[in-house]
Structure 1
Amino acid sequence: MKLERLISLVYMLLNNEILSASELADKYNVSQRTIYRDIETICAAGIPVVSYQGVNGGYGIMEEYKMDRSLLGSYDVDSLVTVLQSMSTVFQDERAAETIRRLKTIQSGQQASPLSLDIGGRNVYRKSLQLLRDSISELRVVRFQYISLKNERLERTVEPVQLLYRNDSWYLYGYCRNRQDYREFKLSRMEELKSIGQHFADRHQPQAERDEWSDYRSQESKAITVVIHFSATSLARALDRLHQAEKDYHEDGSLTVRFQSDERSLTSWLPHLILGFGEDAEVIEPPALRSHIAQRLQQMLGKYQ
Structure 2
Amino acid sequence: MKLERLISITYMLLNHEVVSASELSYKYGVSQRTIYRDIEAICAAGIPVISYQGVNGGYGIIKEYKMDKSLLSPDDIESLITFLSSTTTVFQDDRAQETIQRLKTVQQSSDRAPSLTMDLGSWRSYTSDLRILHAAIQAKQLISFHYVNAKDERQERIVEPVSLVLKYDSWYLYGYCRSRSDYRVFKLTRISELVALQERFDRHHRFREKDIFSYNACGNHQFEQIEHAVIHFTAGSLAKVLDEFYLDDKQFNDDGSLTLTIVQAIDTDWLIEKLLSFGEDAVVLEPASLKQLIKEKIGKMLKRYEEV
TM-score where L is the length of structure 2: 0.85
SS in 1 for 2:176: strand
Please state if 1:240 is matched with 2:247: no
Go from structure 1 to structure 2 and tell me whether the alpha carbon gap of 1:240 and 1:129 turns closer, same or farther (over 3 Å shift).
same
How far apart, CA to CA, are the structure 2 residues paired with 1:33 and 1:43? 16
**Structure 2 residue 97 is the aligned partner of structure 1 residue 97:** yes
Moved more, 19-28 or 289-298: 19-28
Would the alpha carbon gap of residues 71 and 163 (structure 1) be closer, same or farther in structure 2, given more than 3 Å must change?
same
8 A contact 2:185–2:212 mirrored in 1: no
How far did residue 7 of structure 1 move? 4.3
Task: State the partner residue of 2:231.
Answer: 228
Say whether 1:18 aligns with 2:18: yes
1:116 alignment partner in structure 2:
117
Which residue does 1:207 correspond to in 2? 209
In structure 2, relative to structure 1, the CA distance for the partners of 1:18 and 1:176 (3 Å cut) is same
**1:215 matched residue in structure 2:** none
Alpha-carbon distance in structure 1 between the residues aligned to 2:70 and 2:242: 41
The verdict on how the C-alpha distance between 1:195 and 1:259 changes in structure 2, with shifts beyond 3 A counting, is same
Q: CA RMSD for the aligned pairs?
A: 2.8
Distance 1:120 1:32, change over 3 A: closer
The alpha-carbon distance between structure 1 residues 244 and 129, as it changes in their structure 2 partners (threshold 3 A), is same
TM-score (structure 1 length as normaliser): 0.85
* Structure 1 counterpart of 2:217: none
Q: Please state if 1:251 is matched with 2:246.
A: no
Change (3 A) 1:190 1:30: closer
- In the alignment, structure 2 segments of 5+ residues that lack a partner are 215-221
Cα separation, 2, equivalents of 1:85 and 1:261: 36
Match of 2:167 in 1: 166
Residue 297 of structure 1 aligns to which amino acid in structure 2? I
Conserved 8 A contact 2:185-2:213: no
In structure 2, how many angstroms separate the alpha carbons of the residues matched to 1:85 and 1:288? 48
- C-alpha contact (below 8 Å) 2:147/2:156 kept by paired residues: yes
Structure 2 distance, partners of 1:223, 1:283, is: 13
Indicate how the Cα distance of structure 1 residues 222 and 146 shifts in structure 2: closer, same or farther if over 3 A, else same. closer
Shift in Å at residue 54 of structure 1?
A: 4.8
Query: Is contact 2:121–2:127 with CA below 8 Å preserved after alignment?
Result: no
- Whether the 8 Å CA contact 2:234–2:257 is kept in 1: the answer is yes
5+ residue gaps, structure 1, are 213-218
Q: Please name the residue that 1:132 is paired with.
A: 133
The letter of the residue matching 1:78 is E
- Change in 2 beyond 3 A, CA 1:211/1:149: closer
Aligned to 2:39: 39
2:191 pairs with 1:190? yes
Residues 203 and 292 (structure 1), Cα distance of their counterparts in 2 relative to 1, 3 Å cut: same
Cα displacement (A) at 1:292:
0.9
Once the two structures are overlaid, the 10-residue window that deviates more, 249-258 or 53-62, is 53-62
2:151 corresponds to which letter in structure 1?
Answer: K
CA drift at 1:121: 5.1
Aligned to 2:179: 178
Letter in 1 for 2:248: A
- The range that moved more, 44-53 or 151-160, is 44-53
Identity of aligned residues (%): 52
Task: Please give the secondary structure, in 2, of the residue aligned with 1:208.
Answer: helix
CA-to-aligned-CA distance 1:70-126 (integer Å, 9 cap, x gap): 111221111111111111110111111111111122221242423221113557222
Return 15-24 or 269-278, whichever deviates more: 15-24
Q: Is the contact between residue 160 and residue 175 of structure 1 (CA under 8 Å) also seen in structure 2? A: yes
Work out the CA distance in 2 between the residues paired with 1:74 and 1:114: 11
CA contact (8 A) 1:139 1:202 kept: no
Most deviating of 77-86 and 138-147 = 138-147
1:181 and 1:121 map into 2 onto residues whose CA distance is 30
Tell me: CA distance 1:146–1:2, structure 2 relative to 1, closer, same or farther (3 Å): closer
Aligned to 2:81: 81
Map of 1:216 onto structure 2: none
**In structure 2, what residue type is equivalent to 1:115?**
L
Q: CA deviation at 1:27?
A: 4.5
List, as ranges, runs of 4+ consecutive aligned residues in structure 1 with deviation greater than 6 Å: 209-212
User: Partner of 2:49 in structure 1?
Assistant: 49
